[in-house]
Structure 1
Amino acid sequence: MFMTTLSAEESDPFCLPVQSTRWLTGAPWRRFATMGDSLAAGTHGPSPGYANMGWCDRLAGLLRRVHPDLAYLNTAVIGATTADTLAGQLGPVLGFGPDLLHVSCGANDLWRRDPDLPATGRALRRLFGRAAATGATLTTFTLGRAFVVPRFPDWHDRVRALNDVIRALAAEHGAVLADMWDHPVNDRPGLVSADGVHFSAAGQAVLAAELVKGLALRI
């Protein structure tokens, strides 16, 4: 009798939803785009036992199992602010004509000594409004609490304020929201990559799973 050893990803209860295409059977989306910062780009480091992929490439791969002709555009840029996304990414995304559109940005706006949170909120409102006007199904994330910037003692307060804006905009525009602030994955060792900033591949797998679960409810 032979024993099969599951990989870390296969045995991860937060990742199992993305192991089966049944979650996305009947998915209508054929043009998937993502815009924003490194979170939207799926920037990550490796995790033993997990596929070395960002959440967005994972999701695109799953959607391609349903629609092999899926068109996929990722304009996200590491370090992009909300203003950068509006100025440099919105146009190409609108020209692409997505029917599924992910928006994640705002975190880099918080890195300033004195961030202008009201201005960030206004820019996010414009961005989500333009995204919603495409008619695409929108998706987004809140930021998790695992990442901390020691030089900003009020970092978590900043993130909470940004997350409140994201939650409100997601509700207003009917976006699929993966609320990561207090997700149990935040308590895992090794969640953050060696760069100290981005989720590792293990975290990316969880991000993808949360979106898959949310999207499955829209089919």
Structure 2
Amino acid sequence: MTGEDAGTAGVYGAEAADPFCLRAGEARALLRGHPWRRFAVLGDSIARGVGDAVAGYPQAPLADRVAALLAAEQPALGYLNLGERGLRTRQVRERQLGAALAFAPDLALLVCGANDALRPGYERRAEAVDADAAAIVRALQGAGALVVTFSVFVWSSYPGLPVWLTPPPAERMAWLGRRAAALAAELGTVHVDLAGHPAAGCRDMVSADGLHSSARGQSIAAAETVRRLGARVRAAAG
């Protein structure tokens, strides 16, 4: 899959018609002249790209799509995806930060926190989760990387989880989104806020496990990421 195919619809009819996805040529216009040469991704299964196929959308994870679109403008782009399913934020810090720093990225994408928030007791652990996320961001920034952070999609229900989990996981996930946005504002990251996205209520956004974004969700998340990065490129150009 080429960078253009990965983010600008190509032969994927449903994606081409999706009002939330990138239009043909949009990514190229947004990212033209971008400065990034080394792109690192840290996080959990969302960073890794777990999700079901959806007819009419490319089966390409969020991070891979963004990398392909960046590489379309900078063919020598180095790309490292350290994402690993099931990790909590502290585990991302412990297992991935060292390798990410050794890669010397000038752009890093961090997606974590969902595995903390889905579990009961997140309310008591939230400050510690934030502290781990902040430590990851500050270390990457200190090494010269622009950091992209996320408030992930929040589903109205999480049928893949036991019903006894209280309060409902959607409440904890929404709280995670608000805290992630506040932390991003404090730290000065490029923040992609998907928590209240209007497409989140569509059935084809969620994989069969009831947790992960489908290919459509990955496409929309990539589009929002590219738009936020494009805004940074335009701002830097003055």
State the TM-score, normalizing by the size of structure 2: 0.85
Q: Which residue of 2 aligns with 1:173?
A: 187
Count, aligned residues: 215
Q: CA separation in 1, counterparts of 2:48 and 2:208? A: 17
Higher mean C-alpha deviation, range 170-179 or range 194-203: 170-179
**TM-aligned CA deviation for residue 19 of structure 1:** 4.6
Q: Which residue of 2 aligns with 1:77?
A: 84
Q: CA separation in 2, counterparts of 1:23 and 1:14? A: 15
Q: How does 1:1-219 map to 2 (within 5 A)?
A: 7-17=13-23, 19-20=25-26, 21-115=28-122, 116-146=125-155, 148-149=157-158, 150-154=163-167, 155-219=169-233
Unaligned regions of 5+ residues in structure 1, if any?
A: none
Unaligned regions of 5+ residues in structure 2, if any?
A: 1-10, 234-238
**TM-aligned CA deviation for residue 213 of structure 1:** 0.6
Q: CA separation in 1, counterparts of 2:58 and 2:230? A: 22
Q: Note if contact 1:18-1:208 (Cα within 8 Å) is conserved in structure 2.
A: no
Equivalent position amino acid for 2:139 in 1 = R
Q: CA separation in 1, counterparts of 2:179 and 2:143? A: 21
SS of the residue corresponding to residue 9 of structure 1 reads helix
Q: Note if contact 2:52-2:208 (Cα within 8 Å) is conserved in structure 1.
A: yes
SS of the residue corresponding to residue 36 of structure 2 reads coil
**TM-aligned CA deviation for residue 177 of structure 1:** 1.2
More helix by share: 2
SS of the residue corresponding to residue 109 of structure 2 reads strand
Q: CA separation in 2, counterparts of 1:38 and 1:47? A: 18
Equivalent position amino acid for 1:13 in 2 = P
* 1:6–1:139 distance in 2 versus 1, CA, 3 Å: closer
**TM-aligned CA deviation for residue 119 of structure 1:** 1.8
Q: CA separation in 2, counterparts of 1:125 and 1:71? A: 25
Root-mean-square deviation over aligned CA pairs:
1.7
State the TM-score, normalizing by the size of structure 1: 0.92
Q: CA separation in 2, counterparts of 1:118 and 1:53? A: 33
Equivalent position amino acid for 1:100 in 2 = L
**TM-aligned CA deviation for residue 122 of structure 1:** 1.9
